């Protein structure tokens, strides 16, 4: 029987926590949000279009925040993610959170109006710090941007994202477990869990 490993997820995004919990709990991990003096981390994101660099910066900032606190011995998880639309040169990419809050899904549909190339991908770059070691992984989920908003499950761009490995429904029309089995976050966290377990005999 595997001992449950407690992971502190340094993020301000409750949806990421909910999904990480659903993906990692069956693999033997418990996931809690990292709160310092009751507040989630407020990261300063470096100016870059590379989610790996942003993720690395998040983990270093988190380690600084927990240094000397009761959390200093815990495993720390961070993630940077986004939606990258081919025809828009990868936009909104690292600006996904801001674009979602400002123009939202309606805005993306409007920008792509009349466009036949609707190919896009979700990417998640995850880093886990444990006992002085870093484990990292990239999860990609390819798909298309729908022409209308469909469904209300998930969060963010899910009601306009149709994964290629699906039946034409958006993530917004799928159950949480269906999304997790195909999503960038699901892939990235499962790779991470394999890395943590090491090579099997
Ligand atoms: P933290 O930095 O505190 O972790 P955040 O939400 O700001 O939280 P990111 O900077 O990584 O995180 O931005 C990711 C954004 O990309 C997220 O806010 C959504 O708008 C979008 N996104 C990422 N994964 C998604 C998913 O599975 N479903 C829908 N939208 C997603």
Model pLDDT for residues 105-136, shown as the tens digit of each residue:
999 999 999 999 999 999 999 999 999 999 99
- Return the ligand 1 atom nearest residue 183 CA: 27
Residue 35 in any domain: the answer is: yes
Concerning whether 167 is annotated as a catalytic residue, the answer is no
Burial zone of 6 (CB within 10 Å; 0-12 exposed, 13-18 middle, 19+ buried): exposed
Hey, which residues does 32 pair with through a beta bridge?
8
The sign of the torsion formed by the CA atoms of 71, 155, 183, 178 equals positive
Helix axes 184-197, 14-24, angle to 10 degrees: 50
Indicate left, alpha or beta for 83 from its phi (over 0: left) and psi (-120 to 50: alpha): beta
Please write the tens of the pLDDT for every residue from 30-89.
Answer: 999 999 989 999 999 999 999 999 999 999 999 999 999 989 889 999 999 999 999 999
Is residue 189 domain-resident? yes
Q: What is the torsion angle, in degrees rounded to the nearest 10, for the CA atoms of residue 47, residue 137, residue 180 and residue 94?
A: 10
pLDDT of amino acid 199: 75
Q: What is the pLDDT of residue 23?
A: 94
Using the mean position of ligand 1's atoms as its centre, give its distance from the Cα of residue 142 in Å: 16
Residue 148 lies in a domain: yes
What is the span of the domain harbouring residue 54? Answer: 6-197
H or E element: which one contains 194?
Answer: helix 184-197
Q: How confident is the model at residue 1 (pLDDT cuts 50, 70, 90)?
A: very low
Q: What global pTM score does this model have?
A: 0.95
Q: What is the mean pLDDT of residues 14-34?
A: 95
State the total domains in the chain: 1
Mutation test of ligand 1: which of 54, 82, 188 has the most ligand atoms closer than 8 Å to its C-beta?
82
CATH of the domain at 43: 3.90.950.10
Question: Does the residue 100 lie in any domain?
Answer: yes
pLDDT grade, residue 200 (50/70/90)? low
| Any domain includes 56 | yes
What's the mean pLDDT in 155-170? Answer: 98
Asked if residue 1 belongs to a domain, the reply is no
Query: Per the domain annotation, does 172 fall within a domain?
Result: yes
Is 153 a domain residue? yes
Phi then psi for residue 80, to 5 deg, are -120, 135
- Cα separation, 91 vs 114, in Å, equals 17
Looking at residue 72, its pLDDT comes to 86
Query: Mean pLDDT over residues 1-13, rounded?
Result: 82
């Amino acid at each position: 029987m595997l001992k449950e490993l407690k992971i502190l997820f340094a993020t301000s995004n409750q949806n990421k926590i909910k999904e990480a919990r659903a993906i990692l709990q069956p693999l033997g991990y418990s996931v809690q949000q990292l709160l310092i003096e009751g507040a989630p981390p407020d990261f300063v994101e470096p100016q870059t279009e590379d989610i790996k660099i942003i993720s690395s910066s998040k983990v270093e900032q988190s380690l600084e925040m927990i240094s000397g606190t009761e959390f200093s011995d815990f495993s720390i998880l961070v993630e940077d993610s986004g939606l990258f639309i081919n025809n828009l040169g990868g936009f909104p990419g690292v600006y996904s959170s801001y674009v979602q809050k400002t123009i939202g899904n309606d805005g993306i549909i409007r920008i792509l109006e009349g466009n036949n190339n609707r190919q896009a991908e979700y990417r998640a770059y995850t880093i886990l710090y444990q006992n002085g070691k870093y484990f990292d992984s990239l999860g990609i989920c390819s798909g298309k941007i729908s022409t209308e908003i469909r469904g209300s499950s998930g969060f963010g761009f899910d009601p306009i994202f149709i994964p290629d490995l699906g039946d034409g429904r958006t993530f917004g029309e799928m159950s949480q477990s269906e999304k997790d089995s195909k999503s960038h976050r699901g892939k990235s966290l499962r790779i991470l869990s394999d890395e943590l377990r090491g090579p099997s005999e």
